[in-house]
């Protein structure tokens, strides 16, 4: 286990050093390079806001950073992000061509190699009531992509039918509690299968609307999502589900954060085609999600046979309970 943890640590640090650091301005990069490697491995987000302190998120807390790579509680000691920092970062993540990332600007984020995602803020430019692009970009959120293989081990047996079928599964979780990480590892394990344990692999189709599950870079998944998995990257969920049903013959469709009426219609089409679903919603528990009309309808129709509730109580990915979706009784 120690070797596995060391290997995971090395992979995370190497990815940050080789992909994130070259996307940062000289001063911000210099500050982060001085950060203790134990802390660097735990960083979840790098928050860069013009004329405000450089901040890191880790262990579900925010920390200001000095130019010497140390945490501080005092604003006057923190590194204040300058205009040249944000201008340089924009050049680096766009490879000096804003035209090349026009579509990404419209969506408000860019996916880097390695599956890391950069959120952007600035002034929205509208055209016919829709966002055409962003300008005066002054804020960045570098979200560090971290694969945790094996995180689905405690739940995989609960979503498998004894006759080798996969249950329709809904993961319920507040933000930043590990739902995407859990979903990704479930996809990987279901796609690969495990012949030693008599668990065959299934064809999985992912609709990755926000490029978080597979972390595609130029169409190629940067995360391990299994050998039988096909990905529609940056595609609206409802449209993507229909496309996969009609063209890729998946056994299972996986997507993140359902909730719209269009999602519900696509789910019904998948059910009619005999396709299993694994997806997620934002919420603390069932009582919270049924306050939303579409999600209440999904629960009342008993579409999902298993519901996994996550929290951050003991750290991201804490499994609070697993619920049988027909009776709504707790089974773990």
For 134-158, what is each residue's pLDDT tens digit? 999 999 999 998 888 999 999 999 9
Residue 33 three-state SS = helix
Tokens for 233?
């990257």
Q: How many C-beta atoms lie closer than 10 Å to residue 142's C-beta?
A: 25
CATH 3.40.50.300-classified regions of the chain: 153-330
% of the chain at pLDDT higher than 70: 97
Look at residues 298, 302, 322 and name the one whose alpha carbon lies nearest to residue 310.
322
Collect all residues with Cβ–Cβ distance below 8 Å to 95 and sequence separation of at least 6: none
Q: Regarding beta strands 61-65 and 55-58, do their DSSP bridges make them parallel or antiparallel, or are they unpaired? A: antiparallel
Q: 153-330, which class in CATH?
A: alpha beta
Mean pLDDT, residues 168-178: 92
Computed over every residue of the chain, the mean pLDDT equals 92
What digits encode the pLDDT tens for the residues 83-117?
A: 999 999 999 999 999 888 988 999 999 999 888 99
What pLDDT, on a 0 to 100 scale, did the predictor assign at position 116?
A: 92
Q: Are 305 and 316 in contact (CB under 8 A)?
A: no
- Contact of 264 with 277, CB cutoff 8 Å: no
DSSP string, 260-273: SHHHHHHHHHHHHT
pLDDT of residue 309: 97
Q: Tell me the pLDDT tens digit for each residue of 227-250.
A: 999 999 999 999 999 999 999 999
Residue 9: the pLDDT is 52
CA distance between the termini of the chain? 25
Radius of gyration of the chain (CA): 21
pLDDT value of residue 216: 92
Q: How far apart are CA 171 and CA 324, in angstroms?
A: 12
Task: Return the pLDDT at 315.
Answer: 81
pTM of the model: 0.85
Cα–Cα distance measured from residue 100 to residue 36, given in angstroms and rounded to the nearest whole number = 35
Q: Which pair of tokens denotes residue 198?
A: 């008599």
Instruction: Say yes or no to pLDDT of 199 above 90.
Output: no
3-class SS at 244? helix
- Between CA 99 and CA 274 the distance in angstroms is 42
- Three-class SS of residue 155? helix
């Amino acid at each position: 286990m120690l070797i596995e943890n060391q290997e995971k640590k090395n992979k995370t640090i190497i990815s940050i050093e080789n992909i994130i650091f070259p996307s940062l301005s000289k001063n911000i990069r210099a500050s982060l390079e001085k950060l203790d490697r134990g802390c660097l491995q735990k960083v979840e987000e790098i928050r860069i806001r013009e004329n405000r302190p450089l901040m890191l998120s880790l262990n579900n807390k925010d920390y200001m950073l000095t130019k010497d790579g140390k945490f501080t509680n005092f604003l006057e000691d923190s590194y204040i992000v300058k205009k040249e920092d944000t201008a340089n970062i924009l050049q680096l993540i766009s490879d000096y061509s804003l035209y090349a990332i026009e579509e990404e600007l419209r969506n408000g984020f860019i996916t880097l190699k390695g599956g890391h995602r950069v959120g952007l803020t600035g002034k929205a430019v509208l055209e016919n009531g829709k966002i055409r692009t962003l300008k005066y970009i002054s804020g960045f959120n570098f979200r560090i992509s971290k694969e945790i293989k094996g995180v689905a081990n405690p739940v995989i047996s609960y979503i498998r039918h004894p006759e080798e079928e996969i249950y329709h599964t809904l993961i319920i979780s507040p933000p930043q509690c590990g739902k995407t990480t859990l979903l990704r590892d479930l996809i990987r394990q279901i796609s690969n299968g495990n012949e030693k344990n008599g668990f065959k692999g299934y064809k999985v189709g992912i609709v990755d609307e926000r490029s978080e599950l597979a972390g595609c870079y130029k169409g190629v998944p940067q995360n391990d999502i299994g050998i039988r998995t096909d990905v529609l990257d940056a595609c609206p969920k409802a449209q993507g589900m229909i496309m996969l049903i009609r063209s890729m013959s998946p056994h299972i469709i996986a997507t993140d954060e359902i909730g719209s009426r269009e999602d519900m219609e696509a789910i019904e089409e998948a059910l009619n085609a005999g396709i299993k679903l694994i997806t997620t919603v934002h919420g603390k528990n069932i009582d919270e999600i049924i306050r939303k009309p579409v999600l209440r309808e999904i629960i009342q129709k008993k579409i999902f046979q298993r519901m996994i509730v996550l929290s951050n109580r003991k750290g991201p990915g804490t499994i609070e309970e697993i619920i049988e979706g027909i009776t709504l009784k707790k089974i773990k």
